[in-house]
Amino acid sequence: MPVSREVRAGWERRLPELSAPWTHWRITGDGRPIADVVGDDLFGALRLVEENFGRFISIKANRICVDDNGKCVKEDIALHEISRHAYDSIRWDRP
């Protein structure tokens, strides 16, 4: 079942903004890595959240960049919560 526009818009608002040097989002579910998504692929990041909704209690994102050695470097601040199943599932079925 497709996610409601209201829920998807909430997820989009909660994704952290990417500005230099940050180029990617690292999406995690309950602390486990799901995927790294390039910042140009907002729809891909939202699709990952939707595909994993219900599999995890909480889906979070963090900003990352790739250093000169090709290693992913994570931002040092707390993760940004994108979806909390208990909250978003209440709004899931609305058109």
Cα dihedral 47, 49, 51, 53 sign = negative
Query: Rounded to the nearest 5°, which phi and psi values hold at 26?
Result: -100, 115
**Which pair of structure tokens corresponds to residue 27?**
């999406």
| pLDDT recorded at residue 7 | 86
Higher pLDDT, 74 or 56: 56
CB 11 within 8 A of CB 58: no
58-85 pLDDT, tens digit each: 999 999 998 899 898 888 876 899 988 8
The pTM is what?
0.84
pLDDT beyond 60 at 91: no
